[in-house]
């Protein structure tokens, strides 16, 4: 089940919200959310439910063992290794056998459980925190299971720490249902009206044969995907944060206007913030962070981004994307690239171009296709009649408005205008969200469902 599915919007969410309002007491509400999370997971990955339950039980028991100080380190290593082994089995085994070693793949036909990358990282953060701050992870198994299976976050995050989540199991804010619903609708609009429209453009370009690409189509596909992945994933994050708010949970922001960044380092402070923070706290800092000189800092960053690429999936495209960001980040650390000393506009252009090129490889079906699209972006001056036909077919008025509107909505208008509030602003915002919701329903009724990009990870 997806947040933008008609069944979720018209049935699952209203029923869950109504029961949540009717059930008295915080423990009763928590029990409902636990059941709702498991039911939600069943719709998306019934065969993965048993794995989710076993992983949750195993990690909870490991957490108890880790809190026993004399054996904490041994249990932590075993527990983290077990989590990574499970993740590797489902996501990387066939790639390792066939893509790296050239051996026959097992072809077991086992689909990776929904959200396995996210609940694995949540589990690892829980285990590490059990050693670092045992008091932060106090709680029973059902609390931990709710943390893992909380339906607003199970599909694709954000990656929340157990300590932050547990505190809200007994102390939640009230009066947040309406703001949460509004945030959910904004995310729904991003996904359905913007990312969905952009997907049609991008898919059309990336399904073309390399010989049919020229500079016009290549840039259209590259910029289209740059916008699509942002509105798809930030839309999901808005929906997840909004859903949490509806049930009284506050979740930190996962995006902060990443396309106004003036360096790669700045970009990763703004993009997928919960994942960046996870790698910082559980990989980068334990490796030494920036405490051992520039050279070691550069190597640590390269290692982190290499792992980040692998986390996204078992494909050379993800690995190359991670290495690309790692190299740029390392060069910024070494001072070989120093956007802070450049004119501000140049820093923005460099960052957008670097991110755009990286996403081309990220989106491509293969490394060869990604390099072919990049080649066409800079050297595709052989225009053909068939390419022109494809281009005009994509540049409809609707698509042009989607492209221009998406580009405009990447900018921090709220920051520029200021945070001043007028009395009419809040009623107007809810009115606009009502209209936006109606437009989304019309679009959903017309069909053309496209899954969230990050749901595959």
| Catalytic residue annotation | 312
The Cα 86–Cα 116 span in angstroms is 9
Q: Shortest CA distance to 199 belongs to which of 445, 457, 443?
A: 443
Q: Assign 3-class secondary structure to 67-133.
A: CCHHHHHHHHHHHHHHHHHHHHHHHCHHHHHHHHCCCCCCCCCCCCCCCHHHHHHHHHHHHHHHHHC
The Cα 116–Cα 107 span in angstroms is 19
Q: Shortest CA distance to 319 belongs to which of 87, 110, 96?
A: 96
Please tell me what DSSP assigns to residue 262: S
265 token code pair: 């380092």
Cα-only R_g, the chain: 23
The Cα 7–Cα 338 span in angstroms is 50
As to burial, measured by CB atoms within 10 angstroms (0-12 exposed, 13-18 middle, 19+ buried), residue 207 is exposed
Residue indicated by tokens 């928590």:
30
Q: Are 263 and 205 in contact (CB under 8 A)?
A: no
The Cα 63–Cα 131 span in angstroms is 8
All residues at 6 or more sequence positions from 175 whose CB lies less than 8 Å from its CB, including other chains: none
């Amino acid at each position: 089940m997806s947040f933008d599915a008609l069944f979720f919007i018209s049935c699952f969410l209203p029923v869950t919200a109504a029961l949540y309002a009717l059930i008295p007491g915080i423990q009763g509400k928590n029990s409902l959310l636990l059941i709702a999370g498991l039911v939600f997971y069943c719709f998306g990955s019934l065969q993965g439910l048993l794995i989710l339950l076993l992983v949750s039980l195993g990690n909870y028991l490991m957490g108890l063992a880790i809190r026993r100080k004399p054996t904490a380190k041994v249990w932590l290593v075993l527990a983290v290794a077990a989590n990574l082994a499970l993740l590797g089995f489902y996501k990387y085994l066939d790639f390792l056998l066939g893509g790296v070693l050239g051996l026959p793949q097992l072809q077991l036909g086992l689909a990776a459980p929904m959200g396995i990358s996210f609940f694995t990282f949540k589990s690892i953060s829980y285990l590490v925190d059990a050693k670092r701050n045992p008091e932060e992870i106090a709680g029973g198994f059902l609390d931990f299971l709710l943390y893992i299976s909380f339906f607003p976050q199970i599909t694709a995050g954000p990656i929340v720490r157990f300590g932050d989540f547990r505190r809200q199991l007994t102390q939640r804010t009230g009066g947040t249902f309406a703001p949460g619903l509004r945030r959910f609708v904004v995310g729904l609009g991003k996904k359905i009206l913007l990312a969905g429209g952009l997907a049609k453009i991008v898919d059309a370009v990336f399904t073309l044969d390399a010989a049919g690409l020229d500079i016009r189509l290549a840039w259209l596909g590259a910029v289209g995907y740059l916008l699509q992945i942002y509105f798809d994933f930030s839309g999901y994050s808005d929906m997840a944060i909004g859903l949490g708010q509806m049930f009284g949970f506050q979740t930190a922001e996962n995006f902060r206007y990443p396309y106004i960044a003036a360096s790669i380092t700045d970009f990763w402070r703004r993009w997928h913030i919960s994942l960046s923070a996870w790698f910082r706290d559980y990989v980068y800092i334990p490796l030494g962070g920036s405490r051992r000189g520039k050279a070691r800092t550069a190597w640590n960053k390269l290692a982190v981004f290499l792992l980040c690429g692998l986390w996204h999936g078992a494909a050379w495209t993800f690995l190359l994307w991670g290495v690309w960001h790692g190299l740029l980040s390392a060069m910024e650390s070494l001072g070989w690239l120093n956007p802070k000393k450049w004119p501000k506009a140049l820093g923005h252009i460099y960052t957008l171009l670097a991110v755009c090129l990286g996403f081309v490889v990220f989106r491509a079906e293969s490394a060869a296709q990604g390099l072919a699209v990049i080649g066409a972006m800079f050297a595709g001056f052989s225009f053909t009649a068939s390419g022109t036909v494809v281009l005009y077919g994509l540049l409809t008025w609707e698509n042009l408005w989607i492209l221009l509107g998406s580009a405009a909505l990447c900018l921090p208008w709220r920051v520029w205008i200021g945070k001043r509030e007028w009395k009419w602003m809040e009623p107007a915002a809810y009115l606009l969200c009502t209209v936006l919701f109606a437009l989304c329903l019309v679009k959903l009724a017309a069909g053309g469902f496209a899954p969230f990009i990050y749901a595959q990870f």
